[in-house]
Structure formats: structure tokens, C-alpha cells
Amino acid sequence: MEINELLKLVVDKGASDLHLRVESHPVLRIDGRLIPQDDFPLVTSDEVERLFEQIATQEQRDTFYRDKELDFAYTLEKLARFRVNILWQRKTISIACRMVPFIVPTIDELELPQICKELILQQRGLILVTGPTGEGKSTTMAAMINHLNENRECNVISIEDPIEYQHRPIKSIIAQRELGDDTKSFSLALVRALRHDPDVIVIGEMRDLDTISTAITAAETGHLVMGTLHTSDVPQTIDRIIDIFPPYQQTQIRLQLSQAILAILSQILLPRAGGEGRIAAFEIMIATPAIRNLIRDRRAYEIPSYMQLGNGSDSMQTMDEALADLVKRGKVAEEEAMLRCSDPKRLEKLLIHSRKLR
């Protein structure tokens, strides 16, 4: 086996990921399903080490053997780029490669909510894109940056681990910094970015107190900041941000967050009805005055109820409302929506109501 042969198979079969693990056939993830490639032999310990050496530089290999973990980007010339993660398991190497197309998809091509176009053109504030790992957060952010690039003249600084989609200047100038090669940490890169005359700052992952604190401050002081968190819904996102700070700071951070936040987009990916590809469903919170008050008053748990009462006003929707809409439009099977919803009884009521309106 050659690594480029396997990566070309990812492209040819429309897979999102390739997994190489000892004592297993190569495995592709296609439309969310893991499919072993039985035409290839079982991967041995020596084989996976050889494949790793084909894809990594000497410096990257040294880093991996020292730290036991490694993230980097790899380009298959003229076909695609890949986000590669290497780790140890049972004293053997495990490789996961996620495909990133050369062409940045548009908001319309991905069928993202139209509010994404409005949000990314705002002058200041904090936009959070949240969801579990592998649910398309990076792709959503890339599409939003692409829309910004096509419609506004500004200086964008992006901090990523690793760089996935590569942006070229159209109306904006975009600096993309990769953790490891270009900077040592998200928090340090964010501080330095503020001295680089930015209009927009994009943070691949807001994973620590210093990064979150600086991001909120940047949004307060006139920058548009967009970042991701591994949280599943709006209340959990707000609580995660507040709870990362020591108790004596939480009241102040709650106030700052209520003033800085523009929107929270929590997303999941579902198989399309008919079985070809996947589509994102979004819970959308827009920071209205009422929402800001709920955050400030420690009542984030009431936000979903407020979003439901809005009946679609201010472009807000709960995840169950988003799932009901996808089923109504024939984009997602009802059974699949039921598996991913937070409240099956509420989703059922929404679907019954939509049928009555037909």
C-alpha cells in the first residue's frame, strides 16, 4: 500500500475520512458510515509506520515520537488537502486523514442558514460555531469567511490547528497561522493578532481560559471574532465559557459575554434522505436584548424556551425546529431526525403541525 493511493481512494469514493489502524483493513467514512476496504490487506505495525513516514516530514516525525500526538496538513497534488492526526494506541501508530477540498464551498452550496451571510458581515462581536467533533464546524466557518472575502474589504487573521481550507485574497486579505509551524499556542497567537491591525479574527478552537478571555475582549473592543467550541447546544456553550473562569471572575465574564456575543450556531450533520451526502442542522441563537439579559442574569437555561416562543422571529430556531424543517422539506428522513433530536415528543408535535399546514 502507498499513502497517496489510499488518499486518492478517499477522493474517488467521496469519503470524508481514512482510518489506518493495525490489524484492520483501511477504513473509509462515507456519509457518516465506516466502511472497511476489504480489497486491501490488513494493516501491520510495520506497514502503518511506513505509511506514516511517507506522509510526514522528519521534523513532524520527531515531534510525534516526542509528544506521542501529531496534527498536520498534507496535500495530494491537484486533488485535495487532508487534515492528518497521528496517535499511539496499544503501542502502535493509528492514522486518521480527513479530506479538505481545494475549493472553499459557499454558504448556498452547503445549504447553510442565510443568517450566516448577515452575521459574518457584522463589524464587531463574537460568533461561536459549536458542535461535537466531526460535525462540520470548520467547513461552516470556511464558507462564512469565503462570503466575507467576496463582500467586504478587511484584514482577516485566522489561527488554525492545522490549516484546512486555504483562502486567497478577493476583497479581503487573509493571514492563516498554523499551530506548531507559525505559532506556539492559540492564546499567544490571538494576543499577537490584536497587534496586526485585524478587522476579523478566526480562532480554530477556543480551548483554554486565556484564549476565551482574549477573544471576548477583542470582540468588545471593536473586532469581529469567530471561533469554535465542542459543545452541543446554546446553554451548554454559555455555561462552558463561564465555568472555565475561577468563581471570582465569573460575574464579570458573564457581563462581558452578554455584551460581546452576536450569535451561537450549534450544528450537527445528518445523512440526506436518499443516502447521498450529508446536510447540517443548526440551532441558532441571536443575541437580542432579551437574550443578553438572560445571559447576564444567570438564566441561560431559559434561552431554549425563549427561542421556541419566538416562532422563527430574529432568525432563531431550536435544533428540534431545524430538524422538523429538514424533514418537512424532504432533506432528512423522519427516523434520522428522531434519533438526533433533544425532545422526541416536541419534534413529533412539530411534524404533525407542519403536515396540517400543507
pLDDT reading at 313 higher than 60: no
Helix, coil or strand: residue 230: coil
Single out the residue of 187, 189, 195, 247 nearest to residue 221, CA to CA: 195
> What backbone phi and psi angles, to 5 degrees, belong to 174?
-130, 120
pLDDT reading at 312 higher than 80: no
Interhelix angle 209-220/186-193, nearest 10 degrees: 20
Q: How many angstroms separate the Cα of 51 from the Cα of each of 18, 30, 80, 86, 145?
A: 13, 22, 18, 11, 34
Comparing 308 with 243, the larger pLDDT belongs to 243
In the structure, what pLDDT confidence band is assigned to residue 317 with cuts at 50, 70 and 90? Answer: very high
Radius of gyration in angstroms for the set of CA atoms belonging to the chain, rounded to a whole number: 21
pLDDT reading at 157 higher than 60: yes
Single out the residue of 13, 23, 19, 282 nearest to residue 130, CA to CA: 282
pLDDT over 90 percentage in the chain: 87
Record the cell numbers describing residue 126, joined without a space: 463574537
Single out the residue of 122, 117, 60 nearest to residue 86, CA to CA: 60
pLDDT (0 to 100) of residue 357: 66
pLDDT reading at 185 higher than 60: yes
Residue spans of the domains in the chain: they are 3-100, 115-317
For the ranges 35-39, 215-219, 353-357, the lowest mean pLDDT is seen at 353-357
- How many helices (DSSP H) and strands (DSSP E) are in the chain? 14, 13
- Segment 12-24, tens digit of pLDDT: 999 999 999 999 9
Single out the residue of 219, 204, 201, 202 nearest to residue 137, CA to CA: 204
pLDDT reading at 104 higher than 90: yes
State the pairing for strand pair 17-20/27-30: antiparallel
Which residues fall within 8 angstroms of residue 85, CB to CB, at 6 or more apart? Answer: 69, 70, 71, 95, 96, 97, 98
pLDDT reading at 264 higher than 80: yes
State the pairing for strand pair 200-203/224-229: parallel
| The two domains 3-100 and 115-317 share their CATH topology (first three levels equal) | no
Helix, coil or strand: residue 325: helix
What is the Cβ-side half-sphere exposure of residue 232, based on CA atoms within 13 angstroms? 4
pLDDT reading at 220 higher than 80: yes
Segment (H or E) for 249: helix 247-260
- Concatenating the DSSP letter of every residue in 121-132 gives T-SSEEEEEE-S
For the ranges 114-118, 164-168, 222-226, 243-247, the lowest mean pLDDT is seen at 164-168
pLDDT (0 to 100) of residue 308: 85
Which residues fall within 8 angstroms of residue 120, CB to CB, at 6 or more apart? Answer: 127, 144, 145, 147, 148, 224, 226
Amino acid making up residue 171: K
Q: What is the DSSP letter of 251?
A: H
Query: Distance between CA atoms of 284 and 358, rounded to whole angstroms?
Result: 25
* CATH of range 115-317; options 3.40.50.300, 3.20.20.70, 3.40.1410.10, 3.40.309.10: 3.40.50.300
pLDDT, mean of residues 306-331: 87
Domain 3-100 belongs to what topology?
A: Beta-Lactamase (3.30.450)
